[in-house]
């Protein structure tokens, strides 16, 4: 592999490790301020709302000015956001930290565009995205482990470390990351309307089925994730360290699937359209196993959760990027990010309210959402066969 490939892998790894360090710990830290579960999920939603506003703009901007400057600005924003969050003395500072991070949250999206830029053909494109997602999984494996260990010092300590890692990452990107986008569209008008990516996704009939699949996955995944730490704390009595280890289990499964099973099993045994259906079903079963509040089934659910998201993320992203063409890759990947961000705005708020009614209700809703996506996917496949 080329030198720039290793650099962007390292950039994503450090970024995700920092993210993975704090996500399992965030609810424990936030509740020290005396907030309710709904406010905890609003912290997730505040980041996502500003990410929703910025991601499509940054995706289009990376098509125009290049991937490198967008990645660097995003990492710097992350560092500042975590430092503000860690130094918070009031709840409003917690929100400010998440808002700063979300305001330029385009690093992973731009990294995906980067890896698509340097791919020579479709096979290499899927492989690059698979490896990148595997790096994401490694980061999500190492991050929660480090977060769990660091939380033994204090619940705020992991956030300082995440800020330091992001700072180191920004310096590394500035010094060593070259530009990958050789097809920059300097004449392209950038649309600043935050809803325009969702409108374009709905109007794009060839890609609409992929966007629908992505939307149902995003809603269900975020509903489950946003109350996960609160769920395991209240239902199983998990500490911050134990919660980090649970996230690490999911990370292990993601790495195994994306680094080994994706190419050697899943893509050999099934085409990408069939994989979408299979992974939605696996995610439904996984959420059911988690929601029944039985510890052995809970761990089985973690395996299914890691498998479903690992494969589905790569398959949908690869199909969208491949269908878009070189001049729209950043834009379409930005649309996927916008859909995920929009889901991360709505889903945590809904999940937090439902969680206060009963711990299991958010997981029931997530299963229903996936079922609707599965029905639409089956119906779409049937329509294409009949057409």
Give the separation between CA 49 and CA 331, rounded to whole angstroms.
18
Confidence at residue 132, expressed as pLDDT on a 0 to 100 scale: 79
**Of 369, 352, 368, residue with least CA distance to 227:** 352
Give the separation between CA 35 and CA 88, rounded to whole angstroms.
14
**Of 22, 38, 3, 81, residue with least CA distance to 351:** 38
pLDDT digits (tens, 9 = 90+) for 234-284: 999 999 999 999 988 988 898 888 878 988 999 999 988 889 999 999 999
Task: Name the pLDDT band for 335 (thresholds 50, 70, 90).
Answer: confident
Task: Name the pLDDT band for 81 (thresholds 50, 70, 90).
Answer: very high
Give the separation between CA 74 and CA 151, rounded to whole angstroms.
26
Tell me the residue range of the domain where 83 lies. 3-177+202-386
In this prediction, residues 16-36 reach a mean pLDDT of 87
Structurally, how many domains does the chain consist of? 1
Whether residue 259 is contained in a domain is answered as yes
Q: Cβ distance 305 to 224 under 8 Å? A: yes
Q: What is the mean pLDDT of the chain?
A: 85
Whether residue 188 is contained in a domain is answered as no
pLDDT digits (tens, 9 = 90+) for 127-171: 777 777 778 777 878 888 898 899 999 999 999 998 998 898 888
**What is the sign, positive or negative, of the torsion defined by CA atoms of 298, 310, 277, 349?**
positive
Give the separation between CA 278 and CA 271, rounded to whole angstroms.
11
Residue 347 has pLDDT above 80, yes or no: yes
Whether residue 187 is contained in a domain is answered as no
The model carries a pTM of 0.79
Q: Cβ distance 151 to 269 under 8 Å? A: no
Confidence at residue 188, expressed as pLDDT on a 0 to 100 scale: 60
Whether residue 85 is contained in a domain is answered as yes
Whether residue 184 is contained in a domain is answered as no
Residue 1 has pLDDT above 70, yes or no: no
Q: Cβ atoms within 10 A of the Cβ of 198, count?
A: 18
In this prediction, residues 305-315 reach a mean pLDDT of 92
Q: 211: domain CATH number?
A: 1.20.1250.20
Whether residue 197 is contained in a domain is answered as no
Least confident of 236-250, 297-311, 347-361, 370-384: 370-384
Whether residue 296 is contained in a domain is answered as yes
Whether residue 301 is contained in a domain is answered as yes
Task: Name the pLDDT band for 106 (thresholds 50, 70, 90).
Answer: low
């Amino acid at each position: 592999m080329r030198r720039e490939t290793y650099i962007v892998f390292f950039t994503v790894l450090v970024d995700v490790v920092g993210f993975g360090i704090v996500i399992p710990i965030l609810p424990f830290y936030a509740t020290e301020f005396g907030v309710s579960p709904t406010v905890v999920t609003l912290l997730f939603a505040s980041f996502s709302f500003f990410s929703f506003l910025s991601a499509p703009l940054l995706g289009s901007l990376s098509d125009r000015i290049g991937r490198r400057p967008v990645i660097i600005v995003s990492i710097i924003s992350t560092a500042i956001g975590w430092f503000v969050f860690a130094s918070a003395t009031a709840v409003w500072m917690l929100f400010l930290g998440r808002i700063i991070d979300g305001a330029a949250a385009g690093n992973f999206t731009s990294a995906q565009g980067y890896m698509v830029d340097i791919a020579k053909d479709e096979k290499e494109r899927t492989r690059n995205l698979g490896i990148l997602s595997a790096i994401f999984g490694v980061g999500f494996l190492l991050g929660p482990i480090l977060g769990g260990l660091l939380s033994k010092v204090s619940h705020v300590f992991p956030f300082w470390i995440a800020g330091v890692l992001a700072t180191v990452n920004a310096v590394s990107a500035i010094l060593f990351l070259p530009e990958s986008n050789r097809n920059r569209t300097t004449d392209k008008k950038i649309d600043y309307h935050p809803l325009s990516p969702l409108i374009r996704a709905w109007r794009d009939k060839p890609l609409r089925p992929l966007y629908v699949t992505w939307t149902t996955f995003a809603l269900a995944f975020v509903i489950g994730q946003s109350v996960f730490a609160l769920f395991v704390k209240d239902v199983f009595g998990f500490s911050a360290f134990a919660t980090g280890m649970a996230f690490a289990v999911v990370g292990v499964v993601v790495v195994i699937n994306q680094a080994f099973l994706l190419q050697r099993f899943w893509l050999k045994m099934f085409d990408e359209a069939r994989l979408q259906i299979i992974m939605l079903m696996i995610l439904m079963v996984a959420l059911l196993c988690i929601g029944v509040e039985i510890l052995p089934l809970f761990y089985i659910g973690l395996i299914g959760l890691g498998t479903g998201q690992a494969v589905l993320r790569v398959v949908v992203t690869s199909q969208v990027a491949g269908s878009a063409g070189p001049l729209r890759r950043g834009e379409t990947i930005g649309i996927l990010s916008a859909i995920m961000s929009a889901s991360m705005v709505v889903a945590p708020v809904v999940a937090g309210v439902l969680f206060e009614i009963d711990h299991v209700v958010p997981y029931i809703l997530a299963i229903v959402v996936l079922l609707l996506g599965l029905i639409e996917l089956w119906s779409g496949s049937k329509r294409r066969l009949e057409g």
